[in-house]
Amino acid sequence: MSNLPTTVAEAVNAAKAALVSGDYEEADRLTKHAKALKSLSNLGGETLSRLPMDDMSSMGATTTPQNLALKAWYREQYGGDLSSDADKVMTDLYGPNYQAESYAKNASFLRYIRTGQV
C-alpha cells in the first residue's frame, strides 16, 4: 500500500494516472479516497456560494428621492415628522427594544446570505 494523497486534487490525478496505466483496483481505491477527502472538507458545514451584492453603502441610504418625496408629502399632509411617528407605531407593535431586535434579525439574515449558516 503506497502513500495516499493528502488533497482531493492529488487523489483525482493519481486515480486518473492509475486508470491510464490499467490498474483499475488502484484507481478505484484512489477514487474512494478522493471522495472521503471531499466529504471531510465539508465537515464544517457546506458553504454556499455568495450572491452578487451591490455596494453596501447604498443599501442604508435615507436620502433617496423617493424617501425625500415621501417625507415631504407626509409633513404636508399630517404636519409632523414621519420618523418619530413611525417610531411610536413600531414601539407599540414590537416593544421598546424593537430597533435592537431588528438589527439582530438583519445581522442573522446577512450571515445566512453570506455564509449559508444559520
70-81, pLDDT tens digit by residue?
888 878 787 777
Q: What is the pLDDT of residue 37?
A: 81
Chain centroid to CA 103: how far? 17
Q: What percent of the chain has pLDDT over 70?
A: 79
Query: For 78-118, how does the pLDDT look when each residue is reduced to its tens digit (9 = 90+)?
Result: 777 777 878 888 889 888 888 888 888 999 999 999 988 77
Query: Are the C-beta atoms of residues 33 and 41 closer than 8 Å to each other?
Result: no
Quote the cell numbers at residue 44: 464544517
pTM higher than 0.85, yes or no? no
Spatial distance between the Cα atoms of 118 and 98, rounded to a whole number of angstroms: 21
Residue 75 identity (one-letter amino acid): R
Query: 26-45: buried (b, 16+ CB within 10 Å) or exposed (e) per residue?
Result: bbebbbebbeebeeeeeeee
